[in-house]
Amino acid sequence: MDTLGLDIANLFSYLAIGAIAGISAGLFGIGGGIIVVPSLILVFTALQFSSEPLTHLAVGTSLATIIVTGSASTWAHHKHQAVRWPLVLALLPGIILGAIIGAVFADNLSSDSLRQLFGLLLIILAIQLLLNLTPGRGSFDPRKGEMLAVSTVIGALSSCLGIGGGALTGPYLIFRGQALLHAVATASAVGVPIAVTGAIAFIIAGLNTTGLPPWSSGYVYWPAFATISVTTLVFAPIGASLAHKLNPKILKKAFALLLVIIGTKMLVA
């Protein structure tokens, strides 16, 4: 085994994960941790990393990659004036609090429990895609107390599972009166503080953990972070371009079926 995980085969594995995550994000608006976490679990298992911190390492590394990819996506949306920054600021306290809570909660779960929880999330998202369960647009903006509670839950779930939060924040903002474009853009911006807070918390939580590979800081594995981040940035625009050329309904169903397969495997493995 290459304990550094830096040989050519593993490098190509990380590049492939970044490419798939980038294309799926561009095609479906759902990518990042949804692809990165289960893929890293497979690669880390093949590398024979210690089993107990393995899922935590995948989640922490995923959050670190979202800092880069989410920032790039947010900047692109900002240039089109699509981000509702007052909403981002209103959601921020709950998001940060929730991200810390989520990381602490994840640190107290076993690797198997965390993996199974992520598998359940994939199946729920697959059902949402297959049935096209999108909330109707509301006619009023959310209230402060409600936003604090909801953003705390979103931050906790997103940090615990290593996702950017777009799959949770976007539907909520639509339900509370935001147009689809603004909801997607604002959700992207909200995902960055989730990722920053969550990644830092996962690094701190894993500092005294035994069995972690070289080139890692806590639960963040830097070789995977670097290659996945760069590749995702390259391939996300390709996915967005393909979205305008291919049948989105067929693609969403195919992607949903893939999520069901991956989610089921993570639940029963």
For residue range 55-85, list pLDDT tens digits in order: 999 999 999 999 988 888 888 888 889 899 9
CB neighbour class for 13 (10 Å; exposed up to 12, middle 13-18, buried from 19)? buried
Question: Looking at the domain assignment, is residue 3 inside a domain?
Answer: no
Question: Looking at the domain assignment, is residue 1 inside a domain?
Answer: no
CB neighbour class for 137 (10 Å; exposed up to 12, middle 13-18, buried from 19)? middle
Question: Looking at the domain assignment, is residue 102 inside a domain?
Answer: yes
Question: Looking at the domain assignment, is residue 121 inside a domain?
Answer: yes
Question: Looking at the domain assignment, is residue 197 inside a domain?
Answer: yes
* Cβ–Cβ < 8 Å for 71, 192: yes
Question: Looking at the domain assignment, is residue 217 inside a domain?
Answer: yes
- The count of domains in the chain is 1
User: d(Cα 10, Cα 89) in Å, to the nearest integer?
Assistant: 39
220 lies in which domain range?
8-268
Q: Quick one: pLDDT at residue 131?
A: 81
Helix (H, G, I), strand (E, B) or coil at 230: helix
Average pLDDT taken over every residue of the chain:
85
* Cβ–Cβ < 8 Å for 60, 202: yes
Question: Looking at the domain assignment, is residue 93 inside a domain?
Answer: yes
pLDDT at 149 over 90: yes
Q: Please give the helix or strand (H or E) that residue 221 lies within, else none.
A: strand 220-221
